[in-house]
Amino acid sequence: MSSTLLTAAVWTPSGRGAVATIGLRGDITMFPEQLTDHFRAASGRSLLEMTEQQIHFGCWGRDPAEDVVVCRTGAQSYEIHCHGGDAAVRRILTDLKSLGCEIVNWQSQCETDSEHANALSRATTLRAAGWIAFQAGRMQRVLAELTALVADGQQAQAAARANEILAWANFGRHLTQPWDVVLAGRPNVGKSSLINALVGFERSIVFDEPGTTRDVVTAETALDGWAIRLSDTAGQRGSTNELEAAGIARAREAFASADARLLLIDISEPPQDDDWRLLAEWPDAIVVAHKADLPDAWGKSMPRDAIRVSPLQRTGLRELSSAIVSRLIPVLPTDQTVIPLTEQHVHELRRRV
């Protein structure tokens, strides 16, 4: 049998995992008996007898057999689900290759272009994957449209259209990588505790000693379906200690480059000079009135738009999460919006500007 008639590809990452998935594509009618020697469904049905989208449990091989689940996903496409790890996958691929099946990468079996397929494989969340899926084929059509406009002498129209799409480049970039949300404040305002509360588990190191965090500590979560990387930075204050000053400098760099900034104030203590300095320096930051379960020592000095939060009592977290998402994504694109998904997309569009 020609290797071009049947291909197999691993659709899950390499290494250990609970389940691995192998995609089988092509015409299997030429050797149903040989495949039966390898796969035996508990239902007794052969691969050709399977109804599309129906799941069949069975065994692959003998002495010992591998437990597998097979689903026919199309007229000439199947998914083979086996135990995770390289051994089971390697065994099944070896058997398929012995039948004349060509072993390819998963992109070769994808029904969309490689740029789109790669972006889809790197989607940070299910919500992000949905937006990426909408983009199948759109960038190719737009680039062809822009090329035609330029060829027709309509350079200005092409540039305007390219800029319209480039406006969504930042949104598209964060469909495949988390948004960076950085926390800052003077020492001991509770940045680590807030990250723990937002993430939902004890990820950060919390120690009741000012200046403990000297490096940027990160944890990832999802808010409203969007991937977020939260970064806990060194407490910002005037310091003559060389090591602490270096940590504060890194904290300022991370804070300045963040997609969204959270500035924490400890409202259980009267405002200090470092609080006022940070509030004046970062007027666009989301102000978190932290430790709201304790008596308020700020009173009328509290910034009007501050969000009162108490990780201990789990209050204010929903409001803070909504504020973070609104800051990162104030407006969503429409279902018809063309979104650049890769740096190559951005490069191609900028060529037309």
Same domain, yes or no: 184 and 272: yes
Query: For residue 294, what pLDDT is reported?
Result: 96
Q: Where a domain ends, among 60, 94, 109?
A: 109
Query: For residue 112, what pLDDT is reported?
Result: 63
CATH number, position 309? 3.40.50.300
Q: Is the residue at 283 inside a domain?
A: yes
Residues 6 or more apart in contact with residue 199 via CB below 8 angstroms? 219, 220, 221, 230
Q: Is the residue at 131 inside a domain?
A: yes
Same domain, yes or no: 134 and 152: yes
Residues 6 or more apart in contact with residue 241 via CB below 8 angstroms? 211
| Residue 146, H or E segment | helix 138-151
Domain count, the chain: 3
Q: Is the residue at 119 inside a domain?
A: yes
Same domain, yes or no: 92 and 134: no
Same domain, yes or no: 248 and 275: yes
Q: Domain limits at 319?
A: 179-328
Tell me whether strands 77-83 and 66-74 are parallel, antiparallel or unpaired: antiparallel
CATH number, position 77? 3.30.1360.120
Query: For residue 93, what pLDDT is reported?
Result: 94
Same domain, yes or no: 319 and 185: yes
Same domain, yes or no: 23 and 124: no
Same domain, yes or no: 187 and 252: yes
Same domain, yes or no: 149 and 216: no
Per-residue pLDDT tens digits of the chain, which is 353 residues long:
334 588 999 988 776 678 999 999 988 877 767 777 788 899 888 888 888 988 999 999 888 889 999 999 888 899 999 998 788 999 999 999 988 889 998 877 876 677 888 898 889 999 999 999 999 889 999 999 999 999 999 999 999 999 999 999 999 999 999 999 999 998 889 998 999 999 985 444 433 444 444 455 788 999 999 999 999 876 555 544 554 566 677 778 888 999 999 999 999 999 999 999 999 999 999 999 999 999 999 999 999 999 999 999 999 999 999 999 999 999 999 999 999 999 999 999 999 87
Q: Is the residue at 76 inside a domain?
A: yes
CA neighbor of 133 nearest in space, from 124, 123, 146: 123
Please check whether residue 218 is in contact with residue 251, taking contact to mean a CB–CB distance below 8 angstroms.
no
Q: What is the torsion angle, in degrees rounded to the nearest 10, for the CA atoms of residue 254, residue 255, residue 256 and residue 257?
A: 50
Q: Is the residue at 261 inside a domain?
A: yes
Q: What is the torsion angle, in degrees rounded to the nearest 10, for the CA atoms of residue 165, residue 166, residue 167 and residue 173?
A: 110
Tell me whether strands 286-290 and 55-60 are parallel, antiparallel or unpaired: unpaired
Structure tokens of 116? 């789109």
Query: For residue 247, what pLDDT is reported?
Result: 61
Q: Is the residue at 173 inside a domain?
A: no
Q: Where a domain ends, among 109, 135, 160?
A: 109
Structure tokens of 111? 């029904």
Map tokens 């998402």 to a residue: 325
Same domain, yes or no: 33 and 160: no
What is the 8-class DSSP label of residue 49?
Answer: G
Same domain, yes or no: 185 and 144: no
Same domain, yes or no: 183 and 321: yes
Same domain, yes or no: 45 and 136: no
Tell me whether strands 77-83 and 19-26 are parallel, antiparallel or unpaired: antiparallel
The reply to whether the predicted model has a pTM over 0.85 is: no
Query: For residue 35, what pLDDT is reported?
Result: 78
Q: Is the residue at 272 inside a domain?
A: yes
Q: Is the residue at 174 inside a domain?
A: no
